Structures are given as C-alpha cells and as structure tokens.
Amino acid sequence: MAHKFEIYKDKAGEYRVRFSYNSEVMFSTQGYASKSSAVNAIESIKKNGPAAPTEDNSAA
C-alpha cells in the first residue's frame, strides 16, 4: 500500500501518529498519553478529513 498511518511512541513516551505516502511522512500529530487517543485521532482524520476545506494563506 502506498499510504499508511503509523502509531509510535516518541522519546517522551507519548503516542504519536504519522501519515506516510510512498514512504514519505506527510504529517504527524501531537503526542497523546494513551494509545486509544492516538487511534481516535486516526479515526477523526479519516472521518473529517475528506470534508475539510483548504485555506490558502500564501498571498503576501
């Protein structure tokens, strides 16, 4: 599969999620105290992400 979510523990012991496409990390989340919170973050992104608007703030 070309894209995936990955749950991992950072150096501080918090759970984080990163999303990769073709082995390139596209984004990662904040740290979560529990693994279930990280799983909930993934589910929220899957559910709400497709409908999220794009905001272009690149204009000078």
pLDDT at 2: 87
In a domain, 50, yes or no: no
In a domain, 13, yes or no: yes
pLDDT at 6: 97
In a domain, 30, yes or no: yes
Alpha helices in 1-60 (DSSP H): 35-48
Which residues lie across from 32 on neighbouring strands?
15
- Asked if residues 39 and 33 have their Cβ atoms less than 8 Å apart, the reply is no
Helices H, strands E: what count in the chain?
A: 1, 3
Tokens linked to 37: 């919170």
What is the reported pTM? 0.82
Provide the number of structural domains found in the chain.
1
For the cut 90, the answer to whether the pLDDT of residue 1 exceeds it is no
In a domain, 60, yes or no: no
In a domain, 59, yes or no: no
> The CATH number of the domain where 8 resides is what?
3.30.160.160
In a domain, 57, yes or no: no
| pLDDT tens-place string over residues 29-60 | 999 999 999 999 999 999 999 889 999 999 86
Section 3-10 average pLDDT: 96
Between CA 34 and CA 47 the distance in angstroms is: 20
